[in-house]
Amino acid sequence: MYKFFSSLLLFSLLALPISVSAHEGEDHEHEEAAASTELESGNGWRLVRTVGLGDSGKIIYLVLVDHAVHTDRTIYSAAINRLCGQNDEFCRIRFWSQEKYVPEKASMTVEQNKQLRADYLVNKEAGMKYLRWSCSVNPDKNHCF
């Protein structure tokens, strides 16, 4: 029910006419907030931000998975299928289950790296494709980080 009213409110706000000169010279934090609501999301996950990978022009998707379901690997697959196309030459998604650990840039602190839940990479030029799990998601010690 909450999701319905949030969507209705967002639709109502987006339908309002906008005057460019009405707030000339003022901070425009509300515009940034509106832009962030347009980021991809799905059942159990939300794209927090994208960050550039150096000067390569490539981006990394930084995704938050609902902590209550962070061991459900289908959530990760759903995000991968939504964010990465089958013909993408490059796609990288990193997943966390607590928003406070999602980094602001491509590099991570030690703590952010410890809290990483999964890391997905496709780089066709380098012949790489993998989905690695943290041991909290996949407890198989031979296949987790």
Above pLDDT 90, what percent of the chain?
Answer: 57
Domain spans of the chain?
40-145
Pull the structure tokens for residue 2. 């909450």
CB atoms within 10 A of CB 58: 14
Q: Among 56, 131, 62, 47, which Cα is nearest to 93's?
A: 62
Per residue in 29-67, pLDDT tens? Answer: 333 433 444 678 888 999 999 999 888 889 999 999 999
Give the three-class secondary structure for 125.
helix
DSSP for 66-118 reads: -GGGTT-HHHHHHHHHHHS-TT-SEEEEEEESSGGGS-SSSS--HHHHHHEEE
The fold adopted by the segment(s) 40-145 is: GMP Synthetase; Chain A, domain 3 (3.30.300)
Q: Among 118, 126, 113, which Cα is nearest to 143's?
A: 118
pLDDT of residue 61: 96
CA distances from 79 to 32, 56, 71, 74 (A): 23, 23, 14, 9
Considering the entire predicted model, what is its pTM?
Answer: 0.70
The arithmetic mean of pLDDT across residues 124-134, rounded, is 93
Q: What is the rounded end-to-end Cα distance, in angstroms, of the chain?
A: 38
